[in-house]
Amino acid sequence: MLGARKIAPGAVLDWTETLSVAVEKKVPSVSSPKFATLRYTALRIGLFVACFAVVWVLAFFGIIPLGVGSSNTIWLLLLAIVISAPLSFVLLRKQRDAMSEQIVAKVDRQKERLAANQSMEDGL
């Protein structure tokens, strides 16, 4: 085993050292700011699917009209979009703000990189 240490018989293991190493090498979770856009998009799609399921159940039991002719699916999709849009505006505010901060940071880094490249070209 590479990097393994030999432990003397009867020695007491210090788990805090092992845990701290494991925490330091932790893979970023989906809740980290690095994945803000992915998280917002997934939550937005999930909210739409939930709204579509609710609308479909309501149509199945006849609480709302099924639509005209073969427009049932389109009617249900449009109704789910109309319901999920304001819900996502209210419920996903924190995720949307985190996503916009992530995008602004990326744009700022690109602007700085472009300005640095232009100044290097001008200096030649």
pLDDT at 29: 60
Residue 1 lies in a domain: no
Cβ-based burial of 10 (10 A; exposed 0-12, middle 13-18, buried ≥19): exposed
5: in domain: no
Q: Based on the structure, what is the number of domains in the chain?
A: 1
Distance between first and last Cα of the chain: 53
pLDDT value at residue 63 = 87
The span from the CA of 32 to the CA of 110, in Å, is 21
In a domain, residue 68? The reply is yes
Rounded-to-integer distance, Cα 114 and Cα 19, Å: 42
- Per residue in 21-56, pLDDT (tens digit) is 444 555 556 566 678 899 999 999 999 999 999 999
Task: Kindly state whether residue 3 falls inside one of the protein's structural domains.
Answer: no
In a domain, 14, yes or no: no
- pLDDT for position 116: 87
> Which residue, chain included where needed, has tokens 């805090």?
16
| Run means of pLDDT, 10 residues per run, the chain, 124 residues | 60 56 54 82 96 92 76 88 96 93 92 88 68
Parent domain of 55: 32-123
In a domain, 64, yes or no: yes
pLDDT of residue 88: 96
